């Protein structure tokens, strides 16, 4: 068959293999995540022998097995600082020894009451990371409770056990949870910021490429002066503003229709528009210099980046942390929206806003500098 002699036809299966491979790389990011150095605060509001027992358990948990990196990285902090530390996204959780804990354990059987260790969860930082921290800390508390339960039963020996004290004997230490920056089902269980950030990138990519093609047609058929080229660039930027606003308000409107509980419709719409416009400038800049191959480049970045958007970096392989995560622009839009949704931020979201703005400024400069790029003579 003649089709099998066409080289372009054989490019199809090769392209499929390449695209599937790029998608499948994300399996290495999420297929079997290994948690390393998940940051958790340790707050001590009491003192005594039993407090030292908790400290020893925390120290042991913070050690790696056979020289490997530990799953949890504990750092001692103060109670009054924890809310600010959570808002600064320093920790996924905190283990708290409350005041009176030592006496509660000391007199658990006498008072017939359990002792309490507190777990603070910073869900807004990342629901997956917070849940991993919760599981680890709950396991630690269960281990301590079992240890004391065994000791109490040994002390009692074969004597008759008072039925009223059975609950304390079985479970002398209980966990008490407190959630900071909570995530609800109405925000897609914490996924909404990422789901709303991706369209900003895709809109900028598609819109930027279409505008690039339209501009290329003009440049192919007309020989423009630099002044005329600058005007043409101004038109591209104006189109970028229009595309960005369409992107932002479309995303916010669809999110409203889907039942997503947003802090403010207009705040979210304008932030997504801002991110989309800065991404548009980046796309326009690269396409202005290298042309159509830039779209392939940006698609590869997007495909590789999907695996790092919703996974805490402490659960990613080092390759993704060092070589992929820093180069995924969508991540900063997602982090900015996370600030708005869960941390009460306004339009300025701090580091994520600064990074997106930096992307836009660099993109604009590179785009304007493309005016000095040599162009082919116009067709007659």
Which residue segments constitute the domains of the chain, with CATH numbers given? 38-182 (3.40.1710.10), 188-372 (no CATH)
CA–CA dist 94, 89 (Å, integer): 12
Length of the chain: 380
CB 33 within 8 A of CB 316: yes
Q: Please check the confidence at residue 128 and state whether its pLDDT lies above 70.
A: yes
- The predicted pLDDT at position 269 comes to 96
Task: Report the range out of 83-97, 138-152, 168-182 with the highest average pLDDT.
Answer: 83-97
Question: For the chain, how big is the Rg over CA atoms in Å?
Answer: 28
> Taking the model in full, what pTM does it have?
0.83
The 10s digit of each residue's pLDDT in 16-50 is: 777 777 666 666 666 667 788 999 999 999 999 99
User: Is 160 a residue whose pLDDT tops 90?
Assistant: no
What DSSP letter does each residue of 166-192 carry, written as one string?
HHHHH-SEEEEEEEES---GGGGGGTH
CA angle in degrees (0–180, nearest 5) for 110-148-130:
115
pLDDT at residue 378, rounded to an integer: 46
Average pLDDT over residues 342-348: 92
The answer to whether the beta carbons of residues 207 and 240 sit under 8 Å apart is yes
Give the span between the Cα atoms of 41 and 18, in whole angstroms.
Answer: 43
Q: State the chain's mean pLDDT as an integer.
A: 85
Q: Classify residue 93 by burial, with Cβ atoms within 10 Å: 0-12, 13-18, 19+.
A: buried
Residue 201 predicted with pLDDT over 90: no
Report the range out of 214-218, 271-275, 305-309, 341-345 with the highest average pLDDT. 271-275
Average pLDDT rounded to a whole number, residues 136-146:
93
In this predicted structure, what is the pLDDT of residue 233? 85
Query: With pLDDT > 70 as the criterion, what percentage of the chain qualifies?
Result: 89
> Is residue 55's pLDDT more than 70?
yes
Burial of 216 (0-12, 13-18, 19+ CB in 10 A): middle
Q: What is the pLDDT of residue 28?
A: 66
Alpha-carbon span 153 to 123, nearest angstrom: 38
Q: 108 versus 37: which is more confidently predicted?
A: 37
Instruction: For residues 127-144, give the mean pLDDT.
Output: 93
Query: How much is the average pLDDT of 222-236?
Result: 79
- For residue 162, what are its two tokens? 């008072």
Nearest 5°: the CA angle 298, 304, 305 is 85
Q: Hey, which bits of the chain come out as E strands?
A: 38-44, 72-77, 93-97, 115-122, 173-180
Cα of first residue to Cα of last residue in the chain, in angstroms, is 40
Cβ neighbours of 314 (radius 10 Å): 22
- Which residue has better confidence, 287 or 110? 287
pLDDT exceeds 50 at position 121: yes
Q: Round to whole Å and give the CA distance between 342 and 193.
A: 10
Q: Assess contact for 172 and 152: CB atoms under 8 A.
A: yes
Per-residue pLDDT tens for 294-322? 887 887 777 777 777 878 888 888 888 88
Strands in 93-97's sheet, in edge-to-edge order, are 72-77, 38-44, 93-97, 115-122, 173-180
């Amino acid at each position: 068959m003649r089709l099998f002699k066409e080289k372009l036809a054989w490019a199809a299966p090769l392209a499929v293999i390449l695209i599937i491979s790029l998608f499948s790389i994300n399996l290495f990011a999420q297929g079997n995540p290994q948690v390393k150095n998940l940051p958790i605060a340790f707050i001590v509001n009491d003192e005594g022998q039993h407090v030292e027992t908790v400290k020893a358990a925390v120290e042991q948990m913070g050690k790696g097995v056979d020289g490997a990196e530990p799953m949890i990285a504990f750092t001692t902090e103060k109670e009054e600082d924890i809310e600010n530390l959570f808002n600064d996204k320093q920790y996924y959780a905190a283990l708290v020894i409350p005041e009176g804990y030592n006496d509660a354990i000391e007199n658990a059987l006498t008072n017939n009451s359990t002792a309490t260790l507190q777990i603070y969860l910073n869900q807004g930082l990342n629901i997956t990371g917070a849940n991993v921290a919760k599981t680890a800390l709950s396991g630690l508390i269960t281990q301590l409770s079992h240890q004391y339960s065994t000791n109490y039963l040994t002390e009692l020996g074969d004597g008759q056990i008072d039925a009223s004290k059975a609950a304390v004997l079985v479970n002398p230490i209980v966990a008490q949870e407190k959630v900071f920056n909570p995530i609800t089902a109405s925000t897609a269980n914490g996924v909404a910021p990422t789901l709303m950030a991706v369209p900003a990138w895709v809109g900028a990519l598609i819109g930027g490429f279409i505008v690039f093609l339209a501009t290329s047609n003009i440049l192919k058929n007309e020989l423009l002066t630099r002044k005329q080229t600058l005007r043409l660039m101004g038109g591209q930027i104006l189109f970028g503003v229009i595309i960005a606003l369409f992107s932002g308000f479309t995303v916010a409107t669809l999110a409203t229709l889907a039942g997503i509980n947003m802090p403010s419709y207009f705040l979210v719409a304008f932030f997504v528009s801002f991110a989309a416009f800065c991404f548009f400038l980046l796309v326009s800049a690269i396409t202005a210099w290298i042309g159509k191959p830039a779209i392939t480049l940006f698609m590869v970045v997007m495909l590789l980046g999907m695996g790092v958007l919703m996974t805490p970096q402490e659960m990613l392989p080092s390759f993704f942390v060092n070589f992929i995560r820093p180069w995924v622009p969508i991540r900063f839009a997602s982090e900015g929206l996370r600030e708005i949704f869960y941390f009460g931020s306004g339009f300025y979201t701090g580091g994520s806003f600064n990074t997106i703005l930096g992307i836009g400024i660099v993109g604009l400069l590179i785009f304007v500098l493309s005016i000095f790029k040599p162009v082919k003579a116009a067709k007659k």
